[in-house]
Structure 1
Amino acid sequence: MSKLLVSATGLAAAAALTIGATGPQAASPTTLQPAGHSFSAQLTGKATFVAGSTTMTCTVSASVPTTGANNKVPAAPANHNDAGPVAAPINPPTFSGCTTSIVGVSVTVTANATNGAWTLSAQNGAPATGGFTIPKGGVVLKTSGFASCTITASPGGPTAVNGTWTNGAPSSLAISAAPVPATVTGGFLCPTGNQSATFTATYRITDTTDASQQITVTG
């Protein structure tokens, strides 16, 4: 059972429309474009959370623009950084269609911006990198059924979940086995205390201002 809950922790972490194993490279200039355009980040395929021999899979996840400044490429000249990544605040992603590999245990996942903003960042390079920053406590998972536990991702402060950015139509962000810290509380069946897991998923980054254009990372 403890392995299952650690796996759930991985989900929280990710959610994080969770950047993978590679971090941003601060040396290269980066431009995120088109400046001022809104974008969505939507899961393609499945998001997989793994801890030990336990796997949890979600089929739906997205961060989409609403009103306000979130999910927008910064206006020029803020969409360019001479020596590092470009970041944009995003709405907390949603997760649904989640199942576990343990019979009798279900999970709900809620992302929030209570203690800070979620961000998406991109860094030009070979390859280009990108990812999400989860704010402190930015994802909360609650299991039910055989065990009732609460898993809080990124409990000590912001966590970067990094991956590889590929320009395309649309562009994509691929996260592979990204580690995320978490804290578990609950009853005697819960593996309480500090935990960690890994997250793997690919998100399409789509221009929602002009469907004929793409969100791209250049120098």
Structure 2
Amino acid sequence: MSTLIAVQRPSRPAEPLWLEWLTLVGGLAFCTWLLGVRGVWALLLGADPTGLTLVIMAVFLCSTLWCGQRSRELQRQRALLADPRLARADEACWAAEYLGAPGDIATELLLEHSHGPHGTAWWVNGIQLKLGLLGKVIGFSMLALTIGKLQSFDPAQSQELLRSLTAGLGVALLTTMVGLVGNILLGLQLTRLDRFADALVADIQRTALRKDGA
């Protein structure tokens, strides 16, 4: 009975995944511009002599662009499911491959197409957090080395001492903050991609059931 209901259930309208990503990128671009105008980027990059903050930003930028390309591909596959005639000769249609392959192999191929690349993306997302933690370790190491070099406390050199101590502390806190923010924002994008891919797989399998029951 449940199978019959699933077969007769109409396909859901395609979600505007590509438009959602463009909206998110537009918001991030505005925030980036606003922070740049207020001098936040110059402060972050200038306070981190290790360059880890810049590396984390570069990883996040490349990953976000990949998410945009991936969202466009997922939405294209959803459109091909609704109308396979839209596919060009040199384009792969996941639904057609699933319907044309034998049972278990078809499912494995479909999951590899829909979810396979996301595993690497989640690993890259974890790299941002690990780079932030690495910056924390380096920052506190710089702080410990500065304290270890003190022979005696000279009040006349207190200003220079505080500057040296806050440099290590700044590296520790700033890299951790940038890594956490990048991890959260990229994780949001990847979670949305996973959910869209889950829905796409379900729709393809539902289409196969409908054809088998016809």
- TM-score (normalised: structure 1): 0.24
- Larger Rg: 1 or 2? 2
Instruction: Please state which structure has a larger fraction of its residues in strand.
Output: 1
Instruction: Please state which structure has a larger fraction of its residues in helix.
Output: 2
- TM-score (normalised: structure 2): 0.24
